[in-house]
Structure 1
Amino acid sequence: MVNKNTQNFPGIVLAAMAALLATGCDQRKPDGYQGYVEGDFVYMSTPYAGKMTNLHVRRGQQVASHGLLFAVDATEETYAMQHAHAQYESADASLKDLKKGRRPAEINAIRAQLAQAQASAKRSDQQLARDEELFKASIISQAQIDSSRAARAADQAKVEEIRSQLDTAALPARQDQIQSQEAQVQGMRASYGQWQYRVQQKSVTASAQATVVDIFYREGEWVQSNAPVMKLLPVDNVKIKFFVPENDLQKVRAGQSLRLSCDGCQAGLAAVVDYIAPDSEYTPPMIYSNESRSKLVYLIEARPDKATARALRVGQPVEVLL
């Protein structure tokens, strides 16, 4: 009589071995960690309100660093800037004029006046000399000789006055006048710079290479001050987030190179570990024990290179390989 249990023994062994293999496969450590792509968006705006006049980009477009994004009407600010610039140039020209002496034509006119005064003074000297001889001879009175002496003194004083004017004409303006004009020039320059800044702020450029994610205003619409006009994702703001179990945390370090893979992605995608969270996450709601350590995970952030960042999309799942 054949024992049925003995007859089925090989089947039982095979089933047990398959179960063990299946258990071993389930407990095999995965080759990578699941993560996803995240981005730090930048919202572009202008501090001054105005009508949207030019939209230089479209949604989904790649823009270069310092590339034009949009422009808001700056007609009023442009006129104010031109007016301030004209005032600044006028004040600066006055300052330069104060630092110089009189013009050559003016100096020549003063020199001519000096020559006339000197000629008059010479005639007064000659007249006084004749009158003194006549006074000694008692031909003229005391009043006449006093009048000649007064005329001579007046002509000499006139010569000294015009000579002082000539010396002054060759000098620049007084220091306090120059300082006052310099202060006006600085004020005009600041006003011009202020309006120039406002004009520049109404034409917005990208601060770095980025992708235009969304646009909130169109040409012809009124843009409020500081209102987001468009949403950008700079290529340097793309990052990979994934979680590592507590047991594998020692395998990860800052600056470590990682390999990435995702559905439909080309091979060779890479990233570098940029941040390791100091605290665990998803801690189970139970008393900490050795058995619960495997449930602790730590957030890791990695920065892909520019080529990889351009190939990824925010929210896209990726597998991270150490």
Structure 2
Amino acid sequence: MRNLMLIFTGLLLMACQWQEPAAAFGTVERDLIHVNAQTSGLITVFNAQKGDSIKTGQILLQQDNTEQLLIVAQNEAQLALAKAQLTLLQQGSRQEQQEQAKANLARAAAMLDDAKLTQTRQVALFTQKLSSAAALQQADAALAVAQASYDVAEQQLKEVMAGSRQPDIEQALQQVKQLEARLQQVQWQLQQLTVIAERDGTVDDILWRRGERVPAGATLLTLSVDGSAYARLYLPANALANWRLGQQVEVWLEGRDAAVNGTIRYISPNAAFTPHFALHQLERSRLVYLTEVSLPQDLGIHTGTPIRVLLP
């Protein structure tokens, strides 16, 4: 009789024992952005701290830009010089240059006439045997030099009056374009030393500090993106048939009395390792699938908040 009473009491306790409803468990997560250094350099200014709210366009940090500023200034000076040379070629010669070229030609013409007279006189004297052959040769040489000087002055006057050649102008124009492109490149490299936020968010972690020299490509900090909250949970294999992308589900947040509506945005096609918190203790041996559920963005939910979703 006593044994029967013990068995009856045990069955009664088992019948009254509370059974946890089937559910999938997880946490609130947000998309993370890794902010990387575009170039190596010393960090001189760091405007962010862990937990700070960041707005798009806000300067997060500044790397030493002393050398790059000098490179930009050098390229600006080279471009200014090339533009001045192009302008000179496009405008052609000035009136003063033309007048000088005409005067040079007139002087060369006078010297040529004098050399011709001297050479004619020496020929007559040599014919009359009143002058030596050496004197005649010297007069001939002087005439040749005067003729060459005249030809040069005449050609220079033609060039001054004609202005710059089109090939010279085109070459100068291409030089200006090349230097403009180079200036844009070094200005862009200067901008890369100033790291700005590309999205609104919260500083999740900081990996470097002011005064440290970072290599190119190093992750400087991570940002939790605003407006990207979602529930990451592990769905049991036996519930896959009842879940689909775009489906609305109720998500229970730790510390809140009412559920919020979420939308299933991702279900992994492959089974994942089962974390210790993912399933009820009676179901931990079953396969689970990583699932993401988009959450409303105006709830002020902290990243890492535990959540659960009741399974049908």
Range into which the TM-score falls when normalised by the shorter chain: 0.5 to 0.7
1:312 equivalent in alignment to 2:302 = yes
Following the alignment from structure 2 to structure 1, what is the Cα–Cα distance between the partners of residues 58 and 156?
66
* Map of 2:69 onto structure 1: 78
* Map of 2:114 onto structure 1: none
Contact 1:113 1:162 in 2 (8 A): no
Contact 1:99 1:173 in 2 (8 A): no
Change (3 A) 1:91 1:58: same
Superposed CA RMSD: 4.1
Match of 1:57 among 45, 48, 61: 48
Question: 1:28-66 deviations in whole A, cap 9, x for unaligned?
Answer: 753x42112344533323233333221112110110122
Match of 2:166 among 151, 170, 174: 174
Change (3 A) 1:46 1:104: farther
- Deviation of the 1:260 alpha carbon: 2.8
Q: Which runs of 4+ in 1 moved over 4 A?
A: 14-22, 104-107, 110-114, 160-167, 265-270
Q: How many residues align?
A: 258
1:98 equivalent in alignment to 2:89 = yes
3-state DSSP of counterpart to 2:81: helix
Contact 2:97 2:160 in 1 (8 A): no
- Deviation of the 1:204 alpha carbon: 0.2
Match of 1:218 among 204, 209, 213: 209
- Deviation of the 1:307 alpha carbon: 3.0
1:248 equivalent in alignment to 2:239 = yes
* Map of 2:218 onto structure 1: 227
* Map of 1:130 onto structure 2: none
Following the alignment from structure 1 to structure 2, what is the Cα–Cα distance between the partners of residues 281 and 229?
31
3-state DSSP of counterpart to 2:270: strand
Contact 2:93 2:161 in 1 (8 A): no
| AA matched with 2:253 | C
Following the alignment from structure 2 to structure 1, what is the Cα–Cα distance between the partners of residues 156 and 215?
66
| Structure 1: segments with no counterpart, 5+ residues | 121-153, 284-291
| AA matched with 1:221 | E
Change (3 A) 1:242 1:89: same
Contact 2:265 2:292 in 1 (8 A): yes
3-state DSSP of counterpart to 2:219: coil
- Deviation of the 1:265 alpha carbon: 5.0
1:261 equivalent in alignment to 2:248 = no
Match of 2:59 among 58, 68, 91: 68
| Structure 2: segments with no counterpart, 5+ residues | 110-146, 275-282
Following the alignment from structure 1 to structure 2, what is the Cα–Cα distance between the partners of residues 96 and 267?
75
TM-score normalised by the chain length of structure 2: 0.66
